[in-house]
């Protein structure tokens, strides 16, 4: 048998590169020793939040992702801890829904000019109706008990929280909901009792149709009202706002009914 030589010779096998094998370990050490010293376990221990909750905040854009050092490894810095602390404060003390927290963290209120923010603060100071004044420390109830009382699944309540319809707070492993948000459970429970169930194709995700419609309406309404009543004295603007809201709500309900009535009238 002849020995192959030249270009027919089998290529020599490269020796393993120790630097390549050690690269992931070096990156992990760099993450720990550098500006991102915390692992997910550290975030959980320091904030009292579960791993699932922190991952959810990342998915929802409330918390930036960590610094990746491998396929399943990431490290976090002090800014992550501070952001998680702020999220917990906004949930536990102000009971803001996730959508509102995302707006606060993203600086979306910067969409208002300084003069508009001043006008809104002055109007707020003159509001007398309790339904427009958020309590400093809202009363909360056990979320699971509230779900049982209204015939709503806990998973459905969590989906409402994801959409921003209600606020759900995890406190020492116990889920709680502000009393002011119980209306959402009551309404969905009543829809379930009527027959709007999974068996006929309805789910809690259908609520997103109404949430998105109201959110869009509110955005345009705010711009309209600021442009008009924002030019008035704050006390008068606050009075007009409180007296107008019941009229607006009545209009929306009646117009919605009229639209459905007109739909069936066109079927004749």
Residue 60 belongs to a domain with what CATH number?
A: 1.10.1660.10
For the chain, what percentages of helix, strand and coil (3-state, to nearest 5) are there? 65, 5, 25
The overall average pLDDT reported for the chain is: 82
% of the chain residues with pLDDT over 70: 81
Give the whole-angstrom CA distance, residue 146 versus residue 128. 30
Residues 69 and 146 both lie in one domain = no
Residues 158 and 254 both lie in one domain = yes
Instruction: Provide the domain limits for residue 79.
Output: 27-93
Residues 248 and 188 both lie in one domain = yes
**Using one digit for the tens of pLDDT, what is the confidence trace for 90-105?**
877 767 777 778 777 7
Mean pLDDT in residue range 217-226: 90
Specify whether the CB–CB gap between 73 and 28 falls below 8 A: yes
- 1, part of any domain: no
Domain count, the chain: 2
Vertex 172 angle, CA 142 and 151, to 5°: 25
| For residue 24, pLDDT beyond 60 | no
Residues 51 and 143 both lie in one domain = no
Token pair of 247, please? 């009229």
Residues 147 and 190 both lie in one domain = yes
Give the whole-angstrom CA distance, residue 69 versus residue 28. 5
- Note the pTM of the prediction, 2 decimals: 0.67
**Using one digit for the tens of pLDDT, what is the confidence trace for 132-158?**
777 777 788 999 999 999 999 999 998
């Amino acid at each position: 048998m002849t020995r192959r030589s030249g270009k027919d010779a089998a290529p020599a096998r490269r020796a393993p590169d120790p630097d390549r094998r050690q690269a992931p370990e070096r990156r992990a050490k760099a993450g720990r020793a550098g500006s991102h010293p915390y692992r997910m376990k550290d975030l959980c221990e320091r904030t009292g939040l579960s791993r699932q909750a922190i991952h959810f905040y990342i998915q929802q854009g409330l918390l930036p992702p960590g610094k990746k050092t491998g396929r399943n490894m990431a490290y976090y810095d002090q800014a992550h801890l501070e952001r998680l602390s702020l999220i917990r404060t906004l949930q536990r003390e102000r009971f803001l829904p996730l959508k509102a927290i995302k707006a606060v963290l993203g600086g979306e209120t910067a969409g208002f000019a300084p003069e508009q923010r001043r006008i809104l603060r002055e109007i707020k100071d003159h509001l007398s109706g309790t339904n427009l004044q958020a309590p400093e420390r809202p009363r909360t109830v056990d979320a699971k008990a509230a779900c049982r009382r209204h015939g709503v699944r806990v998973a459905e309540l969590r989906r409402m929280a994801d959409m921003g319809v209600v606020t759900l707070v995890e406190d020492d492993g116990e889920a709680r909901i502000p009393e002011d948000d119980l209306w959402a459970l009551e309404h969905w429970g009543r829809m379930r009792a009527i027959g709007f169930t999974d068996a006929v194709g309805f789910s809690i995700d259908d609520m997103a149709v109404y949430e998105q419609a109201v959110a869009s309406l509110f955005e345009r309404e705010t711009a309209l009202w600021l442009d008009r009543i924002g030019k008035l004295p704050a006390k008068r603007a606050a009075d007009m706002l409180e007296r107008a809201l019941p009229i607006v709500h009545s209009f929306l309900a009646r117009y919605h009914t009229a639209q459905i009535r007109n739909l069936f009238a066109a079927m004749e």
